[in-house]
Structure 1
């Protein structure tokens, strides 16, 4: 999540438009997605790798041992095995970016103040008059202005729902998850505020190499979760920090539109497939050194569509849509082995580099964004729907298998040879298939709902068969083993959200009470094995009840895991699936019911 209201020398942006708190929340949602796009989608890590150094990081402040030493400006990143994780999509993959320039002056915000009263009954805001802001510098581009009234009138449900009659147990469980979020936030604020993530065992902050020199990742990731849970005071704390301290002054120097424009040079390849890394200052781009033959990654260039289309809708600039639609043209033109999409594609030749197919790491969010592009377009993007249908048909034909014990899983495909392994990262697919099933042809709707339920059940079994009732990073179906990790390097759990993500979608689409019960089992396991004195920590082995904690409260735990658990125990009209599509980091983007466009004007 990101709130950008005040830039150096400029009036607070949403305040200047006279927006109320719900309106500002819409800006938070969009800017959150844009931030995820810029510091995630183009910066992907391979299995079991992170990076030892940053590209062009800022110098460490004296006494900050977490800050990396600055390498030469053009130095290549050097991989290390900081974690055996095979990170899903954008979340704990490297967000490596170029130097962003000097940090902004920490001046106080001049925008309006909101006072939100937290509580289950709803948040109400009172707005005071803002002091006069300094005159803005002359603008060289047309700022976009969101037609809030038109958009708001198109929503079919209140953003935070109506909170009608509900069972006391459901409310109590939701309040428990809210307490977990507050506990995680309060400890982050106490020991790590302004750093990227909390180390709950040592009670200090972690900056590390994951976010390209930026700080405050947990604040940015948690903003919309705090809002949705109506933690008003905490939301204001986070918003205030972002206004004053979030170091994006160069990237967002004029408007958020400029940030999208800074990514465009990565598309300057013979095929238009973007390279994996871009220097936001110089515009130079290159592929990751570990990617075969300079290839780009499917889950990298395939996870731009939602944000780029929304950027065109808001700005009126078609270039963003043109870039991602060209990616589709390339993918539709190229021959696909058995109808499958391998994970590595050359941005120079437009040919596949390796025939490794995975619905988990390196491939996952490409498939997710196909069905979600169709949904976000209010079901007008028929090309996305067809691509999703064809891809799912190939996945079901070649990758979906059933174990001897009757568990349905999605294997990986390596040049025609199946690897009977399913990663935790692939467990989002139950929810994805359920979303697609809801809109499928009548003769296939129940089939795909059943498939989604079977995959979600398998992922639940990976939890149920562990001693902690939390799932391993990967589980296998070979040598008589089913839904269990067989390698020491796959036994850990780092507070991942994919399984509870599928529980949330399956609950919303079927209302089968078992999904809420399974979600509550996860809550209890998190409380018992991951909650420590100063936050929540991942564990290194889910098969022992004496946990060895990894001393990291991941930012995605607040952005996704707790959000999906909370929504699991909310009414369906809280961030209704009719009005909102969750991007790959669980930040909601609006369904385009009205095909709205922004109004541009010169200042």
Structure 2
């Protein structure tokens, strides 16, 4: 008996149940609070759930809902109060990535136009001496703000914008989008990682681009940066060899330095450590769970060199 059609339909129904609840109780806000039927604006208050749901609606065949969502996005101005700031990392991966993903599936020019607007509004984040992005930017006046650790950029924050901005550069022909994020890749490619045994630290000085910590991790502060190394190579039709090399170098050092076995059941896990003597915390955090998928993708797409 073929169980997959029924399972697929169950997933479609689950999505529509959740999205319908959002529209009924939290429309125009970022997220639904399901226990209270309330709403919360954790990500700029622009209607995040709509944007993040666009590509899923298209893939699941919910085209009426998709069209309604595009009509909602058409009115986006990405406005913020003068004293508010959009977190660069979250806004790029959620809003800009969501718009570009939906455009790549539907070819709706309005989605590309809104992505272009947002990409431009976020560019002031790169106005540091090193080119590493600031934590947040006001999308109206261009002012920037530091995060909880002033004058630093997390590895994930600086290296999880290349996919979106390079694709946006390809679609619009705007070279600035490409150069802003490629300059960061060049910085990483040339960096001396001897002190951290070939692994990237989780934090950099946003003024001079040098490491600001001895901690290495694939969890919080780092996670998606390693994913973006591999996927940039795939995005460019396997032509960006520097991105490929950064992925291979990182993957090898993660495997040799951060993988451990639990003492009783011999379960493989990944942890973080402080270098140069690889003092591991032996903490396995949920944000590290992507690693097995990235390694599997790399094993199936990166040729032996």
**CA displacement at 1:398 relative to structure 2:** 0.7
Distance in structure 2 (CA, Å) of the matches to 1:265 and 1:418: 37
The Cα of 1:368 is off from its aligned counterpart by: 0.3
Query: Partners of 1:169 and 1:255 in 2: how far apart?
Result: 40
* Match of residue 248, structure 1, among 58, 74, 78: 78
1:408 corresponds to which of 268, 281, 305: 268
CA contact (8 A) 2:134 2:144 kept: yes
Q: What is the match of residue 199 of structure 1?
A: 33
Q: 1:230 aligned to 2:66?
A: no
CA contact (8 A) 2:271 2:285 kept: no
Q: Alignment partner for residue 419 of structure 1, among 278, 281, 287?
A: 281
* C-alpha contact 2:33 2:40 (8 A) present in aligned 1: no
Q: SS where residue 283 of structure 1 aligns?
A: coil
Counterparts of 1:329 and 1:232, CA distance in 2: 41
For the residue of structure 2 that corresponds to 1:362, the secondary structure is coil
Residues 191, 285 of structure 1: alpha-carbon distance in 2 compared, 3 angstrom cutoff: closer
| Bigger proportion of residues as helix | 2
Match of 1:567 in 2: none
Secondary structure at the aligned position of 2:242 is classed as: helix
Deviations along 1:535-581, one digit per CA (max 9) or x if unpaired, are xxxxxxxxxxxxxxxxxxxxxxxxxxxxxxxxxxxxxxxxxxxxxxx
How far did 1:172 drift? 0.7
Matched, 1:431 2:293: yes
Following TM superposition, by how much is the alpha carbon of 1:256 offset from its aligned partner in structure 2, in angstroms? 4.1
Shift of 1:219: 1.4
Measure how far apart 1:356 and its partner are.
Answer: 1.5
Query: Does the aligned pair in 2 maintain the 1:263–1:280 contact within 8 Å?
Result: yes
Alpha-carbon deviation of 1:217? 1.5
Task: Spell out, residue by residue over 1:160-197, the C-alpha distance to the aligned partner (whole angstroms, 9 max, x if none).
Answer: xxxxxxx6301111111111111111222222222221
RMSD: 2.3
State yes or no: 1:181 paired with 2:15. yes
2:164 to 299, 303, 307: 307
Deviation of the 1:255 alpha carbon: 6.2
CA deviation after TM superposition for structure 1 residue 247, in Å: 4.4
- Aligned counterparts, 1:149-188, within 5 A: 168-188=2-22
- How many equivalent pairs are there? 270
Corresponding residue for 2:43?
211
After TM superposition, the structure 1 = structure 2 runs for residues 67-216 of structure 1, keeping only pairs within 5 Å, are 168-204=2-38, 206-208=39-41, 210-212=42-44, 214-216=45-47
- Equivalent residue number for residue 287 of structure 1: 146
Structure 1-normalised TM-score? 0.43
Aligned to 2:183: 326
Between the aligned partners of 2:241 and 2:260, the Cα distance in structure 1 is: 29
Displacement of 1:388: 0.4
- 8 Å Cα contact 2:125-2:134 kept in structure 1: yes
| SS of residue in 2 equivalent to 1:409 | strand
**Cα distance in 2 between the residues matched to 1:243 and 1:350:** 38
- 1:386 matched to 2:220? The reply is no
1:264 is the counterpart of 2:116: no
Higher RCO (CA < 8 A, seq sep 6+): 1
CA distance in structure 2 between the aligned counterparts of 1:233 and 1:258, rounded to whole angstroms: 25
Inter-CA distance 430–279: structure 2 relative to 1 (3 Å threshold): same
What secondary structure sits across from 2:260 in the alignment? strand
Aligned partner of 1:373 among 227, 232, 237: 232
Residue aligned with 2:249, SS: helix
Please give the secondary structure, in 2, of the residue aligned with 1:296. Answer: strand
Q: Distance in 1 between matches of 2:249 and 2:285?
A: 23
Q: Measure the CA separation in 1 of the matches of 2:24 and 2:116.
A: 34
Secondary structure of 1:379's aligned partner? coil
Shift of 1:249: 6.9
Q: Which runs of 5+ in 1 are unaligned?
A: 1-166, 444-603
- CA separation of 1:240 and 1:268: change in aligned 2, threshold 3 A: closer
Task: Determine which of 338, 346, 362 is the counterpart of 2:205.
Answer: 346
Counterpart mapping for 1:508-523 below 5 A:
none
CA distance in 2, matches of 1:217, 1:196: 4
Residues 123-161 of structure 1 show CA distances to partners (whole Å, capped at 9, x for unaligned) of xxxxxxxxxxxxxxxxxxxxxxxxxxxxxxxxxxxxxxx
Q: Highest Rg: 1 or 2? A: 1
* Change in 2 beyond 3 A, CA 1:413/1:255: same
- Does the C-alpha gap of structure 1 residues 275 and 215 become closer, same or farther in structure 2, counting only changes over 3 Å? closer
Distance 1:262 1:191 in 2: 30
Q: Does 1:220 align with 2:51?
A: yes
1:304-358 per-position Cα deviation (integer Å, ceiling 9, x unaligned): 1111111211122212211111112211222211001111100112211111212
What is the TM-score of this pair, normalised by structure 2?
Answer: 0.82
